[in-house]
């Protein structure tokens, strides 16, 4: 396949380029920010592999003309700019950028009316299985079990809670019987009173080089259910993103998710 990467100068960009070229895909578009030291350099400076021979540019539609799917792990503002260029060129987009606002998510949905878009806060196949298991557990349980979500990431992560945690909150909120527009409680400090049955607790840890840990707790009076995923390295997200790009090639316009890749 002919695949592009937006945010190629970042850690995820490097991992995606390495994995996609190992799978015999070719890099045909490489984008990074206007202030990136990699701008106008060959992507082989990122990963010196056959198939990575492409000049790194600012986002533009012309560079997408030969690209089947572009994988985006950049920043929300860059993602919005990329969507405009992708719609202009008719290029499918895999979006793994986190921290999008509700308005920006609406832009993603609008773009999907013109081109295939796969949007997921986490490209890991294992995390998306966690999403499904959380949905199953939430539908089976009620507010007799108190839901709490914990996430841990490296010290450089800018958004909190993580996009994955936000998705887990949405799944619990929409499926746990007895919740009614629940309060989302981010940590607890001071005399906060007893926990209510109509809230979801969320806790974020930042430190060191943690790639990504997520646990959903359903805590009852007599037992506790824990659903956990721990990423051991960044390749798990990059490999999922490449699988998403392979899935999206040739698809009709629409908004897809990793559930579609997994066949749920």
Which pair of structure tokens corresponds to residue 154? 């490296």
Q: Tokens 């030291």 — which residue?
A: 37
Identify the active-site residue in 154, 157, 203, 251. Answer: 157
d(CA 35, CA 33): 5
Residues 202, 161: contact at Cβ < 8 Å? yes
Marked catalytic residue, from 25, 153, 229, 243: 153
**CB of 14 closer than 8 Å to CB of 77:** no
Question: Which CA distances in Å does 173 have to 170, 195, 196, 251?
Answer: 5, 16, 14, 31
For the chain, report the end-to-end CA distance as a whole number of angstroms: 25
157 is catalytic: yes
Mapped onto helix, strand or coil, the DSSP state of residue 218 is strand
Inter-residue contact 178 to 199 (CB < 8 Å): no
- Asked if 154 is an active-site residue, the reply is no
Q: How far apart are CA 28 and CA 55, in angstroms?
A: 9
Q: Which residues pair with 55 in a beta bridge?
A: 42
Query: In angstroms, rounded to a whole number, what is the distance separating the alpha carbons of residues 130 and 120?
Result: 13
Which residues does the annotation mark as catalytic?
Answer: 153, 157
């Amino acid at each position: 396949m002919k695949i592009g990467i937006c945010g190629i100068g970042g850690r995820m960009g490097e991992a995606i380029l390495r994995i996609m070229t190992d799978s015999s895909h070719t890099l045909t578009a490489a984008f990074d920010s206007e202030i990136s030291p990699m701008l106008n350099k060959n992507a082989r400076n990122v990963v010196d592999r056959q198939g990575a021979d492409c000049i790194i540019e600012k986002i533009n539609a012309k560079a997408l003309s030969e690209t089947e799917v572009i994988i985006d792990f950049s920043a929300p503002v860059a993602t919005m700019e990329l969507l405009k260029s992708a719609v202009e060129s008719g290029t499918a987009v895999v979006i793994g950028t986190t921290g999008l606002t509700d308005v920006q998510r609406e832009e993603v949905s609008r773009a999907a009316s013109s081109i295939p878009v796969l949007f997921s806060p986490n490209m890991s196949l294992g995390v998306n299985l966690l999403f499904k298991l959380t949905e199953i557990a939430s539908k089976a349980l009620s507010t007799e079990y108190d839901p709490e979500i914990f996430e841990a990431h490296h010290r450089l992560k800018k958004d909190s809670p993580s996009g994955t945690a936000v998705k887990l909150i949405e799944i619990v909120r929409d499926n746990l019987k007895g919740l009614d527009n629940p309060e989302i409680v981010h940590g607890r400090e001071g005399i906060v009173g007893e926990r209510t049955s109509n809230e979801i607790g969320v806790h974020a840890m930042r430190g060191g080089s943690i790639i990504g840990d997520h646990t959903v707790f359903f805590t009852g009076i007599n037992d506790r259910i824990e659903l956990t995923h721990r990423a051991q390295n960044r390749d798990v997200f990059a490999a999922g993103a490449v699988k998403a790009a392979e899935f999206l090639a040739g698809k009709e316009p629409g908004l897809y998710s990793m559930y579609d890749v997994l066949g749920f």
